[in-house]
């Protein structure tokens, strides 16, 4: 389940890849786009706001095992951020790792270039945080007490 929140699928709810760009608005425009790990083994794609949602997916690639070196998907996940869930819940992150779920995480913090979601009842992760660092997108998953932490660096996807 460690990789389940940030690793996901080509079967995404996003119609076409986008190019990441420098943020211009604090309401998630800094977040939308196509992101990949520097080594290209994982890609995360987020739509711009559509109604009250952002749709995303993450796909992680497994090392090729066949003689022709074909790329294989090792793990996938669909994700959704719902804005303005209720007066008490400003937003919700929902994850569907490997098509299972959803696991819900409520938004607890939001800033110009950062957002944090939490679910104390979830095994791992309990906290999901995204933030922009210059041109890059960073993510962190952890327990609420930070006994287990995993960080991810995503750079804008390179045109193929």
The pLDDT averaged over each successive group of 10 residues in the chain (160 residues) is 35 35 58 94 94 93 72 90 81 93 94 94 97 97 96 86
Please state whether the peptide bond connecting residue 9 to the residue before it is cis, i.e. omega within 30 degrees of 0: no
DSSP letter assigned to residue 88: S
- pLDDT given for residue 99 in this prediction: 87
The pTM of the full predicted model, rounded to 2 decimals, is: 0.78
- pLDDT given for residue 48 in this prediction: 92
| CATH superfamily for domain 33-156 | Calycin beta-barrel core domain (2.40.128.20)
- pLDDT given for residue 4 in this prediction: 38
- The answer for residues whose C-beta is within 8 angstroms of residue 95's C-beta and 6 or more apart is 4, 5, 77, 78, 79, 101, 102, 103, 105
> CA geometry: angle at 85 spanning 79 and 86, to 5°?
165
Domain boundaries, the chain: 33-156
Residue 154 φ then ψ, to 5°: -120, 135
């Amino acid at each position: 389940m460690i990789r389940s929140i940030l690793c996901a699928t080509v079967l995404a709810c996003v119609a076409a890849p986008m190019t990441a760009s420098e943020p211009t608005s604090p309401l998630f425009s800094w977040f939308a786009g196509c992101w990949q790990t520097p080594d290209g083994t994982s890609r995360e794609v987020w739509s711009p706001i559509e109604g009250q949602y952002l749709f995303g997916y993450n796909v992680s690639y497994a090392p090729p095992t066949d003689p022709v070196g074909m790329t294989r998907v090792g793990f996938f996940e669909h994700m959704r951020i719902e804005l303005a869930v209720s007066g008490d819940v400003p937003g919700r992150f929902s994850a569907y790792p490997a098509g299972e779920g959803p696991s819900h995480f409520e938004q607890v913090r939001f800033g110009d270039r950062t957002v944090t979601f939490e679910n104390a009842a979830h095994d791992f992760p309990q906290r999901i945080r995204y933030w922009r660092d210059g041109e890059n997108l960073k993510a962190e998953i952890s327990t609420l007490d930070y006994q287990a932490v995993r960080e991810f660096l995503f750079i804008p996807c390179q045109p193929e």
